[in-house]
Structure 1
Amino acid sequence: MIACEALYALVDELPRVRLAVVGDFCLDVYWFVDPAASEVSLETGHMTLPVAHCRCSLGGAGNVAANCRATGRGTVRAFGAVGDDPWGREMMRLLEADGIEASGMRTIADGWSTLAYVKPHVADEETQRLDFGNFNTLSDADAQTLIADVEAALPEIDLVIVNQQVRAGIHTESFRAMLNALIERHPTIPFLVDSRHHGDAYPGACLKLNDHEAARLIGIERAPDALVLRDEAVRAAETIYRRWQRPVFVTRGARGCVVFDETGLCEIPGLQVLDAVDSVGAGDAALAGIALALAAGQPPAVAAELGGFTAGVAVRKLRQTGFATADEILEAGRAPDYVFNPELADDPRGAVFIPATEIEIATALRPNLRITHAIFDHDGTISSLRQGWEAVMEPMMVRTILGPRFDSADESLYGQVLARVRDYIDKSTGVQTLVQMGGLTRMVREFGCVPYDEILRSEDYKKVYNDALMEQVNLRLVKLQRHELGIEDFTIKNAVALLHVLHRNGVKLYLASGTDEADVHAEAEALGYADLFGGGIYGAVGDITREAKRDVLDRILQSVGSDAAATLVTFGDGPVEMRETRRSGGFCVGVASDEVRRYGGCPTKRARLIRAGADVIVPDFSQLPALLPLFGIDPEA
């Protein structure tokens, strides 16, 4: 994966990149209809559709060009066709407003309508679409003019993006033949093709396809909403590369990107996104990132990674044009939350276990590993004192989001909020509570039930939640102090025994938690193992910009040196510690614990931990004789 320093250098290079975009330039037209002003038409007797306001945005090749310009900030030249009509004039205005050089856009007066898609919206719901340009046919003469314009610009272009969006666009049979000849005449200029209907038309170009398009090229048909299997995507990428000997990029949505080139196969993981997403336009954003990196001289694997960052930023932008800026890319790439092994995570039938155990091997084991440092998450990994925190957070979040509408909200709104909260809690498990409350603040704004001036700060929401949770925790601590319940009633099976074995074997132990640091100390003391953590006990310190577990890893690596990361293991039931340890080069043991029983596994946790990069999954620590040898520890020592 690309290092931060290399990413910064790449982003610094992007403004010097020069791109051309050749393709089907479209216009998306949004009519927002307000029926309140509707009246009966005297001419037709039908009710009118009053348009309260209209908004236009670039689509097709236009959106690709806009993404390239917004992300790279360099030269982007557009080559395509518009009609001599209002939509064409609006498209030219938008291109110029975005800083896209549009002298290569040909205005065709006869027989061509600008590709425009009018989308009436009534009460935020899109109704029947009106399409312009479905009967276009590009003449051979116009095709020759377009190709000549592109060729004349090539001396000042680093890479050409070829977009094919619609059947009635510029990619006629004649145009395809002319463009192929152009590609052959200029073998030193890279061409990158993204074609919906003619993916096999340009054998001299690099190819970017989604997984369904790639599968179709090798004879595999999948329904639009059906999953294309990883093996199918890999086979498609390799087959297409072997056919034309050009790099192939197969995007897989949230599952990342498969790349095949002369170096072989490379898989770029998808990114974990906690907030609500809008996947429309993600493909164009990915294409822009790939193109910019290739044009800057980067290898295909790095290009695919940049494409993942640009798409990951774009999908987070709701109700707005989803372009990724340079600063947003740098933030996304600083510590990316990758999704690993999604197929294994979603389908436990592929699980591989150490014989006669419940210890699942999710990745290749490390031979001759002898650990010297171990990080433990606390809640759900060792302690179950906070078991049930989700049952406290869920109603608190729902009530907070609905605010004054909590009692009056209809079933539909209540269901939307509840589903959104449950999804967010599931995805954010393991991060600081303060960060989770930041997500709550965003959801409060998103649903709009609470007046703006009544929305609290993340710190205030955290206090409300923490007060409710601590009532539950304190009751359990009282029972522990009275000896009504014992340590074994509040710890995962054999967790304390594991701590003692590692401590006896000279492994330096660290305790890390997203809970407030003072509370972590108090709970570890109450459960009797605080003194085992010679490396320290760490928790949240109230600074939302600092992630406790990430901070722990930074401190460990600074104290023992980066070479010792290979002898570091982390035990945890949350994704944060898995991702951070994997990023640092350590070994990850995901603890898919059932916190109610305190032994046995939780399938939901298993999937979450594998996606976060766990190397090994255990339900608890009941099988230490089989687990400890993985880390070079003698179970009898």
Structure 2
Amino acid sequence: MDKQPKIVVIGSLNMDIVVEADAPPQAGETMFGRSVRFVPGGKGANQAYALAKLGADTTMIGAVGEDAFGEQMFGALSQVGVRMDGVKRLAGAATGVASILLADGDNRIIVIPGANASCSPEDVDAHRDAIAGADVVLLQLEIPLETVVHAVKTAKRMGKTVVLNPAPARALPEELLQDIDYLTPNQIELGIVGGNSGTDAEAAMSGLLERGVRNVVTTLGAKGCAYAGADGERGTEGGYRMDAVDTTGAGDAFNAGLAYAIASGRPLAEAARFAGKVAALSVTKFGAQGGMPDLQAVLAFDEGRFR
């Protein structure tokens, strides 16, 4: 990684309300939990935070409310060096919230968009200079789809590499798919975005390539990831055995690692391997942002120890 990547993240900023319990409640059941914590999160903010920790020159474009949660989001991202000029503060709007239940070593999440729903195409246009200077533009789907479509078109007109993490998953317009350089669904999202949840991963990725996506990288949880490129490249990267503390930000860590490696000029297989290491290390600490590793930790990661 011999150059500092410049990456613009366009997406969501949420406060994560994290409740830990021994098991998830059944319908109609009331139970005691172990703890509750308020942790800065949101897919966009998590990915921006992770990129800054890795050493990327990172700019965030999004929206928060003029409330205490919004102030905390600004503080958390600014502290690691994320450029926050592109994040607007909305009077009378609440910062987005994600309610996260941690139980049985896994997580269940409900997202309330709040100010994220006001992230608009005009906000993208107001920060065209940042996009023009970026190596990679990274997006997710926790902001309005029209804003995502506009941002992708804007980035492609400038000749930028676009990475889209299609989460939360939804059907995507063909015009959007044709402008995506790297699409990064998990297994469930792959079926939804690909339009056929019953199709195996290899066929679903091939279908997306036929619809215009240039590369598809599908995360497989603890099993690693699979990737496919329009140039015929195919492959998998295995997962790592880790003592997981909190898996909430693993997908965001993976996307940040992939974007970082791509912006550094690494080929797809190497980028996928690097992203897998970032994701593996991220689950060893609490909090979607608190677990994000720095570049030194990723480069020192001992593959053989955790296979």
The answer to whether TM tops 0.5 is: yes
Kindly indicate whether residue 71 of structure 2 is the aligned counterpart of residue 89 of structure 1: yes
Q: Distance in 1 between matches of 2:201 and 2:76?
A: 36
Contact 1:83 1:114 in 2 (8 A): yes
Q: How does 1:276-315 map to 2 (within 5 A)?
A: 276=244, 278-315=246-283
Contact 2:224 2:240 in 1 (8 A): no
Structure with higher Rg: it is 1
Identity of matched residues, %: 23
Match of residue 257 from structure 1: 225
Contact 2:152 2:162 in 1 (8 A): no
Match of residue 210 from structure 2: 242
Match of residue 153 from structure 2: 181
Q: Distance in 1 between matches of 2:250 and 2:286?
A: 12
User: Aligned partner of 1:195: which letter?
Assistant: P
Contact 1:279 1:315 in 2 (8 A): yes
Contact 1:309 1:333 in 2 (8 A): no
Q: Distance in 2 between matches of 1:129 and 1:242?
A: 32
Contact 1:58 1:66 in 2 (8 A): no
Q: How does 1:365-380 map to 2 (within 5 A)?
A: none
Q: Distance in 2 between matches of 1:135 and 1:108?
A: 7
Q: Distance in 1 between matches of 2:183 and 2:109?
A: 30
What secondary structure does 2:301 align onto?
A: helix
Q: Which string of whole-angstrom CA distances, capped at 9 and with x for unpartnered residues, describes residues 486-524 of structure 1? A: xxxxxxxxxxxxxxxxxxxxxxxxxxxxxxxxxxxxxxx
User: Aligned partner of 2:122: which letter?
Assistant: T
Q: Distance in 2 between matches of 1:280 and 1:273?
A: 17
User: Aligned partner of 2:62: which letter?
Assistant: G
Q: Which string of whole-angstrom CA distances, capped at 9 and with x for unpartnered residues, describes residues 187-222 of structure 1? A: x21010012234634220221111111122333336
Contact 2:194 2:207 in 1 (8 A): yes
User: Aligned partner of 2:223: which letter?
Assistant: R
Q: Distance in 1 between matches of 2:127 and 2:270?
A: 27
In the TM superposition, residue 334 of structure 1 has moved relative to its aligned partner by: 5.5
What secondary structure does 1:260 align onto?
A: strand
Change (3 A) 1:276 1:146: closer
Q: How does 1:211-222 map to 2 (within 5 A)?
A: 211-221=187-197
Match of residue 59 from structure 2: 77
Kindly indicate whether residue 95 of structure 2 is the aligned counterpart of residue 114 of structure 1: yes
In the TM superposition, residue 336 of structure 1 has moved relative to its aligned partner by: 6.3
Q: Distance in 2 between matches of 1:249 and 1:238?
A: 11
Pick aligned residue for 1:25 from 5, 8, 13: 13
Contact 2:209 2:215 in 1 (8 A): yes
Q: Distance in 2 between matches of 1:329 and 1:151?
A: 32
User: Aligned partner of 1:59: which letter?
Assistant: G
Q: Distance in 2 between matches of 1:101 and 1:88?
A: 15
Contact 2:253 2:292 in 1 (8 A): yes
Kindly indicate whether residue 144 of structure 2 is the aligned counterpart of residue 171 of structure 1: yes
User: Aligned partner of 1:331: which letter?
Assistant: A
Change (3 A) 1:284 1:133: closer
Q: Distance in 1 between matches of 2:260 and 2:252?
A: 12
Contact 1:271 1:336 in 2 (8 A): no
Q: Distance in 2 between matches of 1:137 and 1:275?
A: 36
Relative to the length of structure 2, the TM-score reads: 0.81
User: Aligned partner of 1:286: which letter?
Assistant: F
Match of residue 120 from structure 2: 143
What secondary structure does 1:289 align onto?
A: helix
Gaps of 5+ in 1: 1-9, 33-48, 223-230, 339-637
Change (3 A) 1:317 1:199: farther
Match of residue 461 from structure 1: none
Q: Distance in 1 between matches of 2:235 and 2:210?
A: 17
Contact 2:99 2:110 in 1 (8 A): yes
What secondary structure does 2:124 align onto?
A: helix
In the TM superposition, residue 28 of structure 1 has moved relative to its aligned partner by: 1.2
Q: Which string of whole-angstrom CA distances, capped at 9 and with x for unpartnered residues, describes residues 616-636 of structure 1? A: xxxxxxxxxxxxxxxxxxxxx
Q: Distance in 2 between matches of 1:114 and 1:18?
A: 26
Contact 1:237 1:260 in 2 (8 A): yes
Q: Distance in 1 between matches of 2:116 and 2:57?
A: 29
Contact 2:64 2:115 in 1 (8 A): no
In the TM superposition, residue 66 of structure 1 has moved relative to its aligned partner by: 1.0
Pick aligned residue for 1:161 from 138, 151, 171: 138
Match of residue 45 from structure 2: 62
Change (3 A) 1:271 1:150: same
Change (3 A) 1:238 1:143: same
In the TM superposition, residue 131 of structure 1 has moved relative to its aligned partner by: 6.4
Change (3 A) 1:89 1:147: same
Match of residue 81 from structure 2: 99
What secondary structure does 1:312 align onto?
A: helix
Contact 2:257 2:271 in 1 (8 A): yes
Kindly indicate whether residue 303 of structure 2 is the aligned counterpart of residue 327 of structure 1: no
User: Aligned partner of 2:137: which letter?
Assistant: V
User: Aligned partner of 2:234: which letter?
Assistant: C
What secondary structure does 1:254 align onto?
A: helix
What secondary structure does 1:160 align onto?
A: strand
Contact 2:95 2:114 in 1 (8 A): no
Gaps of 5+ in 2: 21-31
Tell me which protein shows more helix as a share of its residues: 1
Relative to the length of structure 1, the TM-score reads: 0.41
Pick aligned residue for 2:161 from 190, 196, 202: 190
User: Aligned partner of 1:217: which letter?
Assistant: V
Q: Distance in 1 between matches of 2:109 and 2:280?
A: 28
Count the aligned residue pairs. Answer: 289
